[in-house]
Structure 1
Amino acid sequence: MYSFTLTSISPLDGRYHSVLIQLRNIFSEYALIKFRIKIELDWFIQLSLIKQINNLPYFSEKDYKFINNIYNNFNENEALSIKNIEMKTEHDVKSVEYYIKSKFSLHDKLKNFKEFIHFGCTSDDINNLSYALMLQKNRRLIILPYWKNISFYFKKLSIQYKNVPLLARTHGQPATPSTVGKEFLNFYYRLQRQIKKIKKIEILGKFNGSTGNYNALSLAYPEIDWQHISRNFVNSFGFTWNAYTTQIEPHDYILDFLSCIASFNSILIDFNRDMWGYISLNYFSQKIKKDIIGSSIMPHKINPINFENSEGNLGLSNAIIYHMNAHLPLSRWQRDLTDSTLLRNLGVIFGYSVIGYSSLLKGLKKINIQQDIIKKDLDNHWEILCEGIQTVMRKYNIKNSYESLKVLSNHNQIDKKILRNFIMKLNIPKQEKEKLYGLHPSNYIGYASKIVDFL
């Protein structure tokens, strides 16, 4: 525990500090500055390779190594020097430009070409690609690994419990049985759809000046095809080139990205609530370490805190996503700065999500199924067989099939004996009666087990 975690306003940097270490390398202020440096330097290198820009000389391999090392050797102390510059300029991107110029001043050749740093750029040329790098890296290193790991557990539990019958509950009332594995499978399938979806989301980028028209660049070098240069530059990062923008990339793809995150999170919130209920019914118990305390006053308590924690944090993540999605695509005329402060909170979205994912995984690893309790619950609800019996009666065109079972079951305690007596009086073939005699709440599961085998 670091002392600063005790004085942090946000639990992301306080209580949950250790869970979010990976995210700091992607979404912190330090990470944003470093991404900006990469874009600025790569743009300078791009310019140096354009033959028509004869103002820039040939640079040697050693020169390019010096340029790249500004990024490769960047550290927190260097970031602090940029923040010191920003205290004077009160402009974050311009401070990065001045920092790089100070580095070029240390090189005999590069010091003469400092004015080609941030050449023809507006701040969002740098920023939109920096945030795109964040999301690209986050998807590859954080989101997909977490999502695949969670999905793996759902698949594993689907297979493990595919034959364990479960009293279903619709509207909170006893209903047609399923199996525990089939219920896990429902969530697995939903999660898999989001995994496929997020992989396909294109990350867009633009690099076209103050209002998206290459005004300054085309004035300085009218003979150069700047659209072609822009496309190649954006594509070089693995992004899709957006040719039609104002000063800013309009963030529509970020909405797609965040909406997918929100959908995945909502599915898990749904699951967390189900697990909370199953644990309250004692369908699942929880492994607990010797010194763990569930309640400060009730010694017997083992609360479903991991699923509750997951639900709360995923809900916070989604709340911010909903605000982002409502406001990120809006920009007054060609530019306002509303999006700037919103984008700085991308890390908050993924911070709460990661806490939610981590808590869920922790909860899944602690659960033990209580098959005896599940079976006992099934044994106490023979009324759920009325659905199947009245359906077989309909097969033989018995009038008022549904209504007769409704009278039998409504407000009455039904057991095996009552149902057998009812079946005995039915005017249906002997083999059908024998089939109905063999019904039990634990074997009336339809294709539930087979559906899991379709995996």
Structure 2
Amino acid sequence: MSLTPLNAISPIDGRYRSKVSELANYFSEEALIKYRVLVEIEYFIALCEMPLPQLENVDHSIFDALKAIYKNFSSEDAQAIKDIEKVTNHDVKAVEYFIKEKFDDLGLSAFKEFIHFGLTSQDINNTSIPLSIKEAIHDVYIPEYTQVVEKLKSLAKDWAGIPMLARTHGQPASPTRLGKEIEVFIVRLEEQINLLKTVPHAAKFGGATGNFNAHHVAYPENDWKAFGDKFVEQQLGLYHSFPTTQIEHYDHMAALFDALKRINTIIIDLDRDIWTYVSMDYFKQKIKAGEVGSSAMPHKVNPIDFENSEGNLGIANAIFEHLSAKLPISRLQRDLTDSTVLRNVGVPLGHTIIGFKSTLKGLDKLLLNEPKFAEDLENNWAVVAEAIQTILRREGYPNPYEALKGLTRTNTKINQNSISNFIDTLEVSDTIKTELKRITPSNYTGI
């Protein structure tokens, strides 16, 4: 049975495949194999450029042909490596044998033993996977994140002047502005993306237990630490972790996952707030012809996009949490638990991208119901009590809080007239009374 969206076990490869298909270029089995081939080829080129004595005669003009092995890497190439793996029962060794066959084709047979020279599998995995994550963040994640933030900025600008009754503890509170409340999320997201961008994409490269043992015993005169720094940082564009055990310690990767989780948490907070505003009738939603909101209630237009986003981001965060908690822990110089866990890196990123797309779709459907904002403000004149008592404090009026408390905590409806009548009873100047009467729920919105 071939894999289709209908028989896939994971919704990422099934129902949501069209939303996350780009990630296959970074986190599929084929992509991992391609990145491994890239690292092996670039490593051989780096040894030639050093050069090792046995590689001095390698014609550097062949480098373009070597790079073409991974630049033109195909599904057929990936399958060829998987076929080799059936014999070797070792995925990285299968990559090495595949490249050796390519060397034969390029007339480089004499130099085949310098493929994977002195390395262990984790020198390949712990460079390939960080490189795939770095490129996926740059190529897929950042553009999707940016679309959400740019949409929020547009809405914040459009709604900058919309006064809104705030709610703290679910109760009416000092009024605010809708645009400002959206801006809160923008600032939170931008601060966290700036932190995310500071996290290094770290790679391990140093042989079986991280000490360049094999390299050093073969060529003790060479500065292999300097070589590793140059290869990882200049040729691969990653940060070289040193010293390490057999594996990268994943502390930076854990920090990255934690940063991604915080951003998701902020989006979940946004989703829930917008969902609540929809339930309060602050927003209507654009209706698409043919869509059904409920199988039983024809009138319903549900805020399903925000619900979908919240659900997917929640799953993403649960996996990010496990990745960041588990990966930095490895018994002694290494155990294998990181290997199977790392194969799931694309899963939370997939759910994250689905979440971002759903939030964006939901935001695009919002229609401002401005009369409802005005109605809620008009029905809650009690919120200006804070403003009145604060000005009375300024004027040295005795016990202003208690005076307003007596007014606002009765069961009597508080409205513009009752507030005005209360102000008339105050022993303050007419100038102060005029100042107090100018305050309304719609204009008491701060800076």
Q: Is TM more than 0.5 here?
A: yes
Name 1:269's counterpart in structure 2. 268
- Cα shift readout 1:304-362 (whole Å, capped 9, x = no counterpart): 00011011111111111111111110010000111111111110010000000000111
Task: Please state whether the residue corresponding to 2:106 is helix, strand or coil.
Answer: coil
Q: Which amino acid aligns with 2:274?
A: M
- Cα shift readout 1:370-393 (whole Å, capped 9, x = no counterpart): 101110111111111111111112
State the alpha-carbon separation in 1 of the partners of residues 233 and 384 from structure 2: 61
Name 1:176's counterpart in structure 2. 174
State the alpha-carbon separation in 2 of the partners of residues 285 and 411 from structure 1: 34
State the alpha-carbon separation in 2 of the partners of residues 404 and 138 from structure 1: 60
The answer on 1:285 being equivalent to 2:292 is no
Change (3 A) 1:57 1:3: closer
State the alpha-carbon separation in 1 of the partners of residues 422 and 65 from structure 2: 89
State the alpha-carbon separation in 1 of the partners of residues 211 and 308 from structure 2: 48
State the alpha-carbon separation in 2 of the partners of residues 47 and 415 from structure 1: 81
State the alpha-carbon separation in 2 of the partners of residues 115 and 408 from structure 1: 89
Name 1:121's counterpart in structure 2. 119
- Cα shift readout 1:142-181 (whole Å, capped 9, x = no counterpart): 1211222211111111111111000100000111100110
Change (3 A) 1:3 1:229: closer
Q: Which moved more, 1:381-390 or 1:192-201?
A: 192-201
C-alpha deviation, 1:3, in angstroms: 6.9
Name 1:398's counterpart in structure 2. 397
C-alpha deviation, 1:411, in angstroms: 4.4
Name 1:147's counterpart in structure 2. 145
Q: Which amino acid aligns with 1:419?
A: I
Name 2:225's counterpart in structure 1. 227
Name 2:428's counterpart in structure 1. 428
C-alpha deviation, 1:64, in angstroms: 2.1
Q: Which amino acid aligns with 1:289?
A: K
The equivalences for 1:73-88 within 5 A come to 73-88=72-87
C-alpha deviation, 1:9, in angstroms: 0.5
State the alpha-carbon separation in 2 of the partners of residues 74 and 395 from structure 1: 74
Which ranges of structure 1 fall in alignment gaps of 5 or more residues? 448-455
C-alpha deviation, 1:111, in angstroms: 1.1
Task: Please state whether the residue corresponding to 1:105 is helix, strand or coil.
Answer: helix
Name 1:25's counterpart in structure 2. 25
RMSD across aligned C-alpha pairs, in angstroms? 1.3
State the alpha-carbon separation in 1 of the partners of residues 197 and 410 from structure 2: 51
The equivalences for 1:170-249 within 5 A come to 170-236=168-234, 237-249=236-248
State the alpha-carbon separation in 2 of the partners of residues 93 and 407 from structure 1: 77
State the alpha-carbon separation in 2 of the partners of residues 360 and 266 from structure 1: 13
C-alpha deviation, 1:396, in angstroms: 2.2
Q: Which amino acid aligns with 1:262?
A: K
Which ranges of structure 2 fall in alignment gaps of 5 or more residues? none
Q: Which amino acid aligns with 2:348?
A: I
Q: Which amino acid aligns with 1:256?
A: A
Task: Please state whether the residue corresponding to 1:291 is helix, strand or coil.
Answer: coil
Name 2:155's counterpart in structure 1. 157
For normalisation by structure 2, the TM-score amounts to 0.97
State the alpha-carbon separation in 2 of the partners of residues 173 and 58 from structure 1: 79
The answer on 1:444 being equivalent to 2:444 is yes
Name 1:338's counterpart in structure 2. 337
C-alpha deviation, 1:107, in angstroms: 2.9
State the alpha-carbon separation in 2 of the partners of residues 64 and 326 from structure 1: 41
Task: Please state whether the residue corresponding to 2:176 is helix, strand or coil.
Answer: strand
Name 1:407's counterpart in structure 2. 406
State the alpha-carbon separation in 1 of the partners of residues 163 and 72 from structure 2: 59
Change (3 A) 1:59 1:86: same
Name 1:450's counterpart in structure 2. none
- Cα shift readout 1:62-102 (whole Å, capped 9, x = no counterpart): 42233222112211111011111212222111111111112
C-alpha deviation, 1:195, in angstroms: 2.0
Name 1:363's counterpart in structure 2. 362
C-alpha deviation, 1:266, in angstroms: 0.5
State the alpha-carbon separation in 2 of the partners of residues 150 and 45 from structure 1: 41
The answer on 1:48 being equivalent to 2:48 is yes
State the alpha-carbon separation in 2 of the partners of residues 66 and 140 from structure 1: 27
Aligned residues: 444
Task: Please state whether the residue corresponding to 2:440 is helix, strand or coil.
Answer: coil
Task: Please state whether the residue corresponding to 1:4 is helix, strand or coil.
Answer: coil
State the alpha-carbon separation in 2 of the partners of residues 153 and 428 from structure 1: 48
State the alpha-carbon separation in 2 of the partners of residues 287 and 444 from structure 1: 31
Q: Which amino acid aligns with 2:46?
A: Q
Q: Which amino acid aligns with 1:218?
A: H
For normalisation by structure 1, the TM-score amounts to 0.95
State the alpha-carbon separation in 1 of the partners of residues 237 and 431 from structure 2: 65
C-alpha deviation, 1:105, in angstroms: 2.2
C-alpha deviation, 1:417, in angstroms: 1.4
Name 1:133's counterpart in structure 2. 131
Q: Which moved more, 1:224-233 or 1:141-150?
A: 141-150
State the alpha-carbon separation in 2 of the partners of residues 218 and 27 from structure 1: 34
Q: Which ranges of 4 or more aligned residues in structure 1 deviate by more than 3 Å?
A: none
C-alpha deviation, 1:202, in angstroms: 1.6
State the alpha-carbon separation in 2 of the partners of residues 139 and 411 from structure 1: 56
C-alpha deviation, 1:427, in angstroms: 1.4
State the alpha-carbon separation in 2 of the partners of residues 193 and 135 from structure 1: 21
Name 1:417's counterpart in structure 2. 417
- Cα shift readout 1:11-42 (whole Å, capped 9, x = no counterpart): 00000010111111111111110000000011
State the alpha-carbon separation in 1 of the partners of residues 279 and 440 from structure 2: 25
Q: Which amino acid aligns with 2:342?
A: L
Task: Please state whether the residue corresponding to 1:222 is helix, strand or coil.
Answer: coil
State the alpha-carbon separation in 2 of the partners of residues 327 and 64 from structure 1: 39
State the alpha-carbon separation in 2 of the partners of residues 153 and 431 from structure 1: 44
Q: Which amino acid aligns with 1:106?
A: D
